[in-house]
Amino acid sequence: MIAIAEPPIHRTGSASGERVRVELGERSYEIVVAGGALDRAGVEIAAALAGKAGPDGRTAAILVNPAVHRRYGMRLESSLTAAGFNILTIPVTAGETHKTLRTVSRIFDRLYEHAVDRRTVIVALGGGVIGDVAGYVAASYQRGLDLVQVPTTLLAQVDSSVGGKTGVNFGAAKNLIGAFHQPRLVLIDPDTLRSLPLRERRSGMAEVIKYGVISDAAFYDRVSLEIGDLLNLTSGFLDQAIAHSCRIKARVVEADERDLGLRAILNFGHTVGHALEAVTGYRVYRHGEAIALGMVSACLVGEEMGITGKNVTGSLVDLLRKAGFAVSLDPGMDPNAIICLLALDKKAIGGAARFVLAPKIGEATPGHLATDAVVRSALARQRLI
Ligand SMILES: NC(=O)c1ccc[n+]([C@@H]2O[C@H](COP(=O)([O-])OP(=O)(O)OC[C@H]3O[C@@H](n4cnc5c(N)ncnc54)[C@H](O)[C@@H]3O)[C@@H](O)[C@H]2O)c1
């Protein structure tokens, strides 16, 4: 893995950054994308919560893992203190294996010990794991506290912090226990990506590429053009790419907040992607790496079903390769294990796996049922790609 040490970010946008509104009636909120946003967090959070009760005497409970706290915790705390919040920092151990009810329970203990009241705002500082756990804590403690997401991985910035899905894993099942709980604000400081290893940045970029494929061909083209600089954080388009990814997700969430229909298109590449993660015990692939492979699988399934053109697959494979993703299926991977998992997937119907397919770049439709034979043939072709 190549790690690029904290490269500078070249920025062409305005100092106040990009703002994307998520329109959900009384649950509406803003996503702010701005370099240096961490230092303005107190003011931004106070403004987002205004109207309920002012920040004076209000507690901000910051959930963060120690490594992220060392880098960014003090700045967030100082900014919140300056805005009049009392700070309660609760350390949470990093990693998917800690995305559990036990972690949630420990956080409840800390909130209880400190007798926090209902005006407390839960602030998630970190990647998607912290965001999902903090979101679930906020959804359930005292029947719901305000939540602010301050995502620091690219994946969390463009995906998990937006849309209100929160939860923890249970047994072998990912995200089995959870709730919908929208944040009051998502505050994104892209400068935090400087300390994120390239592999993690690339993982998040898979979701950025996904947004282009499912809903915006011009965005896809721009991302393709700038992919190297985006990954190296040297593209002046980075903040806009993050904001536009959030915008695409926001529009889908606005149309289908509870995941009853359209929201499924966000799962492009996730049918096989999730199976690859599960079959390898979540230890081999970063989420985005599995999704990159899964997007290629979805294209090949789409080709087999006469829905996706070969030019779509070709373009996506080229872009993913340029970004440094593996696109062919590992020869050691047993297609039967994947097919078995697909049949068990909660979205499968009568054993047939459900795919989101892209007829062309910039357009996707959910709910395509693919037979085992189709999936088997697509996976066999993906070994040779
Ligand atoms: N709620 C949703 O809609 C949604 C959507 C997609 C994914 N998810 C969830 O997101 C999780 C994955 O999130 P992730 O990829 O962010 O992983 P993660 O939260 O495990 O973070 C990856 C690693 O990066 C470290 N890190 C975070 N920010 C850093 C920074 N700025 N510099 C250096 N290191 C940093 C973390 O400490 C961690 O070790 C999964 O649990 C997945 O289920 C949720």
Q: pLDDT digit string (tens) for 176-212?
A: 999 999 999 999 999 999 999 999 999 999 999 999 9
Assign 128 to helix, strand or coil.
Answer: helix
Q: How far is the CA of 228 from the centre of ligand 1 (A)?
A: 22
Alpha carbon separation from 165 to 27, 38, 318 (Å, rounded): 13, 23, 32
46 is written with which tokens? 């106070």
CA distance 13 to 37: 14
**What proportion of the chain, given as a percentage, has pLDDT over 90?**
88
pLDDT confidence of 343, banded at 50, 70, 90?
Answer: confident
Q: Is the CB of 89 under 6 A from ligand 1?
A: no
Name the residue at shortest CA distance from atom 10 of ligand 1.
128
Give the residue-averaged pLDDT of 136-147. 98
pLDDT score at 350: 73
pLDDT confidence of 5, banded at 50, 70, 90?
Answer: very low
pLDDT score at 87: 98
Q: Is the CB of 160 under 6 A from ligand 1?
A: yes
Alpha carbon separation from 63 to 9, 97, 199, 330, 340 (Å, rounded): 27, 17, 24, 37, 37
One-letter identity of residue 374: V
DSSP state of 263: G
pLDDT score at 348: 67
Q: Is the CB of 195 under 6 A from ligand 1?
A: yes
pLDDT tens digit string along 266-279? 999 999 999 999 99
Q: Is the CB of 233 under 6 A from ligand 1?
A: no
pLDDT tens digit string along 80-136? 999 999 999 999 998 999 999 999 999 999 999 999 999 999 999 999 999 999 999
β-strand partners of 166: 179
Q: Could you write out the DSSP letters of every residue in 27-85?
A: G-EEEEE-TTGGGGHHHHHHHHHTTT--STT-EEEEEE-HHHIIIIIHHHHHHHHHTT-
What is the side-by-side order of every strand in the sheet holding 86-91? 18-22, 29-33, 185-188, 146-151, 121-126, 59-64, 86-91
β-strand partners of 173: 170
pTM for this predicted structure: 0.94
Q: Which atom of ligand 1 is nearest to the CA of 163?
A: 3
Residue of 63, 125, 129, 265 with the most ligand 1 atoms within 8 Å of its CB, for mutation? 129
Give the residue-averaged pLDDT of 329-353. 84
Q: Is the CB of 129 under 6 A from ligand 1?
A: yes
Q: What is the largest CA-CA distance in the chain?
A: 62
Name the residue at shortest CA distance from atom 7 of ligand 1.
160
Q: How far is the CA of 156 from the centre of ligand 1 (A)?
A: 6
pLDDT tens digit string along 302-338? 999 999 999 999 999 999 999 999 999 999 999 999 9
pLDDT confidence of 57, banded at 50, 70, 90?
Answer: confident
pLDDT score at 172: 80
Pairing status of strand 353-360 against strand 363-370: antiparallel
Q: Which atom of ligand 1 is nearest to the CA of 156?
A: 16
CA distance 333 to 284: 12
On average, the pLDDT of the chain sits at: 93
Q: Range with the lowest mean pLDDT among 40-44, 275-279, 313-317, 350-354?
A: 350-354
Q: Is the CB of 192 under 6 A from ligand 1?
A: yes
